[in-house]
Structure 1
Amino acid sequence: MKKFENWEIFEDIATIKITKTIKEQLEIYFEFLNSENEKYNLTTITNLDEVYRKHFFDSLTFCSKLELNNQKLCDLGTGAGFPGVVIKIFFPDVEVHLVESNNKKISFLNQLISKLNLKEIYTHSQRAEIFAISKKEQFDIVISRAVSELNILLELGAQLLKINGYFVCLKGPKIDWELQNLNNQNYKLGLELRDRQNLDDKIIGVRVNLFYQKLRKTPEIYPRQYAQIKKKPLGK
């Protein structure tokens, strides 16, 4: 079986040392993702190099901007484990919570975690807005990749963050349109945009990572019921 060789792309993200364990775990991840993909409808990307670049590498691009060390992290709408499981593989000291409302994907994740022998990583089969109410201010970092538009996503997850914690939004080329729709209403959630990371990789394309810091408590009215959020998102 062909194996991934271009490990230098990961080392370029930050000071990440690629260990034998990391390589072995990513190989298991790739093989299990492909073998179970049709059953769980996990991804349209199945080519070896593309999975490593467009899923594994893309899950870590934010790491050069934010230190990961012994924090408690929540991945909202994790799907097949991107970025949460990838973060756990590279940063085993981080406690990771994976939130996903699709029970089939939760089943896949539970099997994957067992195969990878990962510790302190937990799955939650819940909608994000319900999970946020039950776990207020319990996380140092909330992260989400390709889930909802910004004016919906921030409301779903802000309540989870501790004061001074970071909400990391891994976004694509339409981010300026999303920011315009948000219309600076993140302040209602106690969030302030601290940094923006622009990337243009020849393989994964345009990526924009936003880093919101929670400076004040999120009002108790947030998150609203999902139907209300969809009907009238922040900024509209």
Structure 2
Amino acid sequence: MNKERFLQLLEEKGITLTPLQINQFDTYFRLLVEWNEKMNLTAITDEEGVYLKHFYDSITASFYFDLTKEQSLCDVGAGAGFPSIPLKICFPHLKVSIVDSLNKRITFLQTLVNALELKDVSLYHDRAETFGRIPELRESFDLVTARAVARLSVLSELCMPLVKEGGHFVPMKAASVKEEMVSAKKAIQTLGGKVEEVHSFQLPLEESERNIIVIKKTKPTPKKYPRKPGTPNKMPLE
């Protein structure tokens, strides 16, 4: 996807980028490629691939969940900043918190945030299991998202404790989620969530499958979750 097509497809979804925002995406791409030579941030480094599979793919969350109003967003395991930084560029009013367990990635993200001159972005070097137990952050976010490979039952335990009551958890999944949805049903309920919608679509051009799940937090998460680091992965709530 070249930049012109990227901008055109966003326009079709009602997102018109200013020259500043377009420049921010340019800078993001340049820094991603530069830093990727020093550390493994992504396997995708060609411009067309980055604009489609990272930038556009991240922004698809806003096609199915309203980000036009002020709200706090927490991105769990953001890696190189996906989906939160592309969303922040498009919706500058978002208050973004990013948590990642690898300090090198946090260093990259701090450099990126400074270069893009983004405001209201907080970076945390932590594991999701311990981050979700910090009293002032637990159940404090309007929206928690993750664009991750972990199974939905595992992701739910890492993310749901951070969502405030009445807020939403919006995981972004690439592969078919039907089986995952069945096995994660108990976990989502146990953690205080209720599935509102599942949106399945194809990325333009390459037509690979994408799924965005909208889960509402209807009641508080029991205090024992998330469990100790590593436990959700080894023994998913299923």
Range of TM-score over shorter length: over 0.9
C-alpha contact 1:166 1:211 (8 A) present in aligned 2: yes
2:64 counterpart residue number: 65
Deviation at 1:204, TM superposition (A): 5.6
Match among 222, 226, 236 for residue 223 of structure 1? 226
2:82 counterpart residue number: 82
Deviation at 1:226, TM superposition (A): 2.7
C-alpha contact 2:149 2:173 (8 A) present in aligned 1: no
2:129 counterpart residue number: 129
Q: Distance in 2 between matches of 1:24 and 1:131?
A: 33
2:145 counterpart residue number: 143
TM-score relative to the length of structure 1? 0.94
2:48 counterpart residue number: 49
Identity in percent: 37
Structure 1: give runs of 5+ residues left out of the alignment. Answer: none
C-alpha contact 1:34 1:46 (8 A) present in aligned 2: yes
Give, as a single letter, the amino acid of the residue that structure 1 aligns with 2:33: N
Give, as a single letter, the amino acid of the residue that structure 2 aligns with 1:103: N
Residues 77, 204 of structure 1: alpha-carbon distance in 2 compared, 3 angstrom cutoff: farther
TM-score relative to the length of structure 2? 0.94
Runs of 4+ deviating beyond 3 Å? none
1:168 counterpart residue number: 170
Deviations 1:80-132 (A, max 9, x none): 00011111101110000011111111110000111101111011000011111
1:210 counterpart residue number: 213
C-alpha contact 1:53 1:204 (8 A) present in aligned 2: no
Q: Distance in 1 between matches of 2:112 and 2:118?
A: 9
C-alpha contact 1:53 1:203 (8 A) present in aligned 2: no
2:197 counterpart residue number: 195
Q: Distance in 1 between matches of 2:227 and 2:83?
A: 25
Q: Distance in 2 between matches of 1:185 and 1:103?
A: 29
Structure 2: give runs of 5+ residues left out of the alignment. Answer: none
Give, as a single letter, the amino acid of the residue that structure 2 aligns with 1:102: L
| RMSD (CA atoms) | 1.3
State how 1:5-16 maps to structure 2 within 5 Å: 5-6=4-5, 7-12=7-12, 14-16=13-15
SS in 2 for 1:180: helix
C-alpha contact 1:25 1:116 (8 A) present in aligned 2: yes
Deviation at 1:8, TM superposition (A): 1.2
Deviations 1:203-229 (A, max 9, x none): 261000001000001110111113322
Give, as a single letter, the amino acid of the residue that structure 1 aligns with 2:95: E
C-alpha contact 1:137 1:163 (8 A) present in aligned 2: yes
SS in 2 for 1:39: coil
